[in-house]
Structure 1
Amino acid sequence: MKSIFLYFKDSLTYNDDLFMTEHIYDDVHVVLFGLKSLIDLPKTNQAIQNQIQAPNESKESVVQHLQDIGDKITTKEQALSAIFNGKLLIYITGNPSYFISVIPINKELQRSIEAPTNESVLQGSQYSFNEDRNINVGLLRKEIVSEKLKVKDVTIGQDNTRNISVLYYESKADQQMIDKVIQLLEKNKSKELHHIQDLTKMLGLSGWNVVSQLYTTELPQEASTAIFKGKIVLFVDRFPFALILPSMIGDMFMLENDRNFTYPLMISIRSLRIFGFLMTLILPSLYVALVSVNPEVLRIELALSVAQSREGVPYPAFVEIIIMLLILELILEASVRLPKSVGPTITMVGGIILGQAVVEAKLVSNLLIIILAAVTIANSTIVGVQNSTSIRLFKYIILIFSASFGVLGILVGLFFVCAYLSSINTFGVPYLNVKFSKDDLNNG
């Protein structure tokens, strides 16, 4: 036993939260190993005693009970890994050939199930995923009460291990895609996983795509709907959201929560999102095209009104809108980074003062401020933070074409955006596919 103490002492140097405690369970001497920062030792110890306590128990029966409530570990390396994964190790004195690894009562280190913070729900379940992977799997189990919901766990990493749960519906998901995802994760088990970019590389997806091929959501209702459609859901330790693949263009406009409204309302809401998508892409470019390149397209009254609003502005329309768009991007980024108590107030006041000041200083036109406000509102109608961010980038591409070729440049820019989106596919499923089914992998 002395060598075991020395091994853990050498391996866990500078880890003062390690405990090594001797205990007696009905005349059986044991040593408990674990991290007091992760394990609630008094509650765990009491729970073990309640499970093995019985009258007239022999020493062999107690040892057998301890083996039944845990798993045998035969190497010191496995024991060390179990400790850092938050498990309790039991060493039975006189049995130096193995340890017993027990799942303890953990300390409350994760937040409880709360309402979603990044995705608003008008009519639907008001709870969201959190950082505990097992809780997230449990939430989906409550949404999908069926034996066909399958869960496969994979451990990734050597220095910093993370567990990934792969969830799918057996009769609806394509087995070929499931096997490929699990095979890629198993193949990259030795690599470290710190963020979504690492996971994207492990799955063999391009990390340079503007549009993410992994759709994220914190709503169990959306994740369960994706599973029923045959998609795969991934949960990663300490990631408070579900990762859904394959991602498709419909994820920008369609929420399962929309189906809680009547059909006319659902169609109207989704049509508004599509209109907001097109408005975000086209409106800034249309301003530049009609002011700088093709003013003859406007009616004479509207052309005179636009010219009057730009009277005294020293910059071309393209430079004017680029400057204001970049300032607007800074305001949006600041609204995310600032504390919630002061962020909305500061960004609103800053936006109002800035907009009024630049107009009075004759640096930009009144019409441009209206267009920027409309574009910002329209961009916010798109579902998902990653989707709205990618659309913000696409509008600059179309803006450059419109500054060079006018209205024709808008059409050229839209053509390039559509061509780019059509080139994206995830495990053989095209991004522009509107309705996904497991047969899409076979049909191309």
Structure 2
Amino acid sequence: MGARIEEIKNKFVNNDDFFLQQDYLAGNPISLMGLITLIDLAESRQTLHIYLEGSKSSYTSIEELLSLYGEVKESDPNEIVSSIVEGKLIIYSETINKYVITQPVPKLLNRFFEPPTNENVLQGPLSSFIEDIDQNIGIVRKQISSDRLRVKSFAVGTSEQKKISLLYSEGHADMKLVNNIIRQLELNQSREVHNLQNLSKTMGLSSWGPISKFHTTELPQEVAQSLRVGKVVLFVDRLPLALVLPSLLWDMFALENDHNYPLPIMFALRFLRIIGVLMTLLVPALYVALVAVNPEVLRIEIALAVAQSRDGVPYTALVEILLILIILELILEASVRLPKSIGPTITMVGGIILGQAIVAAKLVSNLLIIILAATTIANSAVVGFQNSLSIRLFKYILVLLAAIYGVLGILAGLVLVCAYLASLETFGVPYIQINVAKDRSNHG
């Protein structure tokens, strides 16, 4: 193999989707180079041979043969590498040390079904990942046309092998983080991976924590931004999601799509998400604390209004709020599990009819219904469904502490939550760290 081809191979040594295939055109040896995630190699080779057979041009040399497919150029590794990452097919002849850049038969990388179902996008691309891992990598390569993007694949499992691909941007990602992830995957390749809990164990992460170690997304633009700021992305075959490592606290407030708005609107949206998290955590606990433990904190007019709204309610504030919270959790879970044709009906029955009936029966107060409705809306303002689940769980801790110690219990609960979040780390990266790469400020 020639020195020029070896030089090109070294450029893609960390990309498992790079291919170098030997072939023959009319008895002349050639090399085909490209990225298998962007090129349909079998169809492209067949097209090359069909075009050669159908061509009526006569040729007397390999250079004239190559000229059938495009402009014959002197060997230039930089242009070859740039063309490969753009999805072009390179036909290279070692005999004359020249090459042709041609348009191959591309992989179909567009989603033909529907826009993202778990994440809504405004003023942004509506493409999303699918179940095929090679196509997902190809979609990311379409987003990032850079020779710095690296792809490394693993086959994990013994009875049922599953393909896992790791993507990172060389020069942006911390290689210590990348090497730690690669080492964990190589050490636990015998483990079966059928879900994210299995994957967490394969990577040496605990699956008991309420905070997920992965930031999951089905939006290619979010993955592209994560790679640019130094994060690592995992794809699991048959899973239409990208798993971004490490997951950070700021991920529940920031979206790449926010940059499509003017700066004041972007900051306002992120501020609203922060307010949403604080409301979800504090408002139910404040209701319990101010009604049952510290009513003297309220002004007399507000205290009388609260007492009037609870007139005839037989339960304490803690039992009252836990009753409604459990009903709300059941409604949310039912709306997720039921078919879309009847899901809205159940939500309407549970949210309107049942709520009015409970208030009319004097089981809970009108004020509590308003508070929990606002809390549920605020909880949905954060980025990522898994993040909203974690916040919902922490909410119960603050409610229980508020029922025992009042406002002081809320303060203690916030300290405990903050201390727990500060203790989390993923492969040495703290969960509360804002930046992963040094140049994060350049990318937002």
Contact 2:111-2:128 at 8 Å conserved across structures: no
* Change beyond 3 A, Cα 1:312–1:157: same
Q: Contact (CA 8 Å) 1:119, 1:218: kept in 2 or not? A: yes
In structure 1, the residue matched to 2:245 is: 245
1:127 aligned residue: 127
Q: 8 Å contact 1:169–1:227 — kept in the other structure?
A: yes
Q: How far did 1:431 drift?
A: 0.3
Q: What letter matches 1:321 in structure 2?
A: I
* Range with bigger deviation, 205-214 or 269-278: 205-214
Mapping for residues 207-218 of structure 1, pairs under 5 Å? 207-218=207-218
Q: Compute the TM-score of the two structures, normalised by the length of structure 1.
A: 0.74
Residues 369-408 of structure 1 aligned to structure 2 (within 5 Å): 369-408=369-408
Q: CA deviation at 1:344?
A: 1.4
C-alpha contact 2:288 2:318 (8 A) present in aligned 1: yes
Specify the alignment match of 1:40 in structure 2.
none
For 1:7-46, what aligned pairs fall within 5 Å after superposition?
none
- Write the letter of the residue equivalent to 2:136: N
**Pairing of 1:153-192 with structure 2 (within 5 A):** 153-192=153-192
CA contact (8 A) 1:124 1:260 kept: yes
Range with greater deviation from structure 2 (231-240 or 175-184)? 175-184
What CA RMSD, in Å, does the superposition of the two structures yield over aligned residues?
2.4
Q: Deviations over 1:204-258 (max 9, x none)?
A: 1111111101110000010000000100000110000100000000011000101
CA distance in 2, matches of 1:323, 1:350: 13
Contact 1:214–1:244 (CA under 8 A) maintained in structure 2: yes
Per-residue deviation, residues 268-300 of structure 1 (Å, max 9, x unmatched): 000000000000000000000000000001110
Q: Distance in 1 between matches of 2:379 and 2:304?
A: 29
Q: Is the 8 A contact 1:113 1:130 kept in 2?
A: no
Q: CA deviation at 1:345?
A: 2.1
Alignment of 1:245-264 (within 5 A): 245-264=245-264
> C-alpha displacement at 1:347, in angstroms?
1.2
Where does residue 358 of structure 1 map in the other structure? 358
Question: In structure 1, the residue corresponding to 2:254 is in which secondary structure?
Answer: coil
Q: Structure 1 CA distance, aligned partners of 2:399 and 2:350?
A: 26
Contact conserved, 2:111 with 2:129, CA < 8 A, in 1? no
Deviations 1:66-100 (A, max 9, x none): xxxxxxxxxxxxxxxxxxxxxxxxxxxxxxxxxxx
Shift in CA distance, 52/179, structure 1 to aligned 2, threshold 3 Å: farther
Shift of 1:350: 2.2
Which residue identity is paired with 1:281? L
Q: Could you tell me how far apart the structure 2 residues matched to 1:161 and 1:176 are?
A: 27
Q: Distance in 2 between matches of 1:144 and 1:428?
A: 27
Are positions 1:118 and 2:118 aligned together? yes
Between the aligned partners of 1:222 and 1:111, the Cα distance in structure 2 is 17
Query: What is the aligned-residue identity percentage?
Result: 59
CA distance in 2 between partners of 1:428 and 1:191 (Å): 23
For 1:436, the aligned partner's letter is V
Distance 1:136 1:346 in 2: 35
- 8 A contact 1:115–1:126 mirrored in 2: yes
Partner of 1:25: none
Question: What SS class does the counterpart of residue 165 from structure 1 fall into?
Answer: strand
Q: How many residues get paired?
A: 345
User: Which residue of structure 1 lines up, in the alignment, with residue 432 of structure 2?
Assistant: 432
**Structure 1 CA distance for aligned equivalents of residues 390 and 211 of structure 2:** 6
1:334 aligns with 2:295: no
Q: Distance in 2 between matches of 1:200 and 1:48?
A: 43
CA distance in 1: counterparts of 2:369 and 2:113, whole angstroms: 41
The answer to whether the Cα contact below 8 Å between 2:229 and 2:439 also exists between their aligned partners in 1 is: no
Q: Distance in 2 between matches of 1:177 and 1:432?
A: 17
In structure 1, how many angstroms separate the alpha carbons of the residues matched to 2:234 and 2:392?
A: 27
Contact 1:225 1:256 in 2 (8 A): yes
Q: Secondary structure of 2:185's match?
A: helix
Please tell me the residue identity of whatever aligns with 1:246.
Answer: P
The Cα of 1:51 is off from its aligned counterpart by 7.4
- Comparing 279-288 with 189-198, greater Cα deviation is found at 189-198
What's the counterpart of residue 410 of structure 2?
Answer: 410
Instruction: Measure, in 2, the Cα distance between the counterparts of 1:114 and 1:209.
Output: 33
1:317-365: CA deviation from partner (whole Å, max 9, x where unpaired): 0000001100100000000001011101221222111100010000000
- Structure 2: how far apart are the matches of 1:132 and 1:313? 55
Tell me, which stretches of 5 or more residues in structure 1 are unaligned?
1-42, 56-104
Partner AA of 1:130 in structure 2: I
State how far apart, in whole Å, the 2-side matches of 1:210 and 1:190 are: 26
Contact 1:289–1:402 (Cα < 8 Å) also in 2: yes
Q: Which residue does the alignment assign to 1:226? A: 226
CA contact (8 A) 1:174 1:439 kept: no
What whole-Å deviation, never above 9, does each CA across 1:122-163 have from its counterpart, x for those lacking one?
011111001011111011101100000010111111211111
Is 1:285 the counterpart of 2:285? The answer is yes
Indicate if the aligned counterparts of 2:116 and 2:219 stay in contact, CA closer than 8 A. yes
Shift of 1:373: 0.2
Q: Distance in 2 between matches of 1:52 and 1:255?
A: 46
2:77 matched to which residue of 1? none
CA distance in 2: counterparts of 1:207 and 1:190, whole angstroms: 18
Alpha-carbon contact 2:273-2:381 (below 8 Å) kept:
yes
Q: Which runs of 5+ in 2 are unaligned?
A: 1-41, 55-104
> In the alignment, residue 374 of structure 1 is paired with which amino acid?
A
Looking at structure 2, the residues matched to 439 and 428 of structure 1 have their Cα atoms a distance apart, in angstroms, of: 19
Q: Report if the CA contact (8 A) 1:173-1:438 is conserved.
A: no
TM-score by length of 2: 0.74
Q: Secondary structure at the match of 1:173?
A: coil
| Residue number in structure 1 paired with 2:101 | none
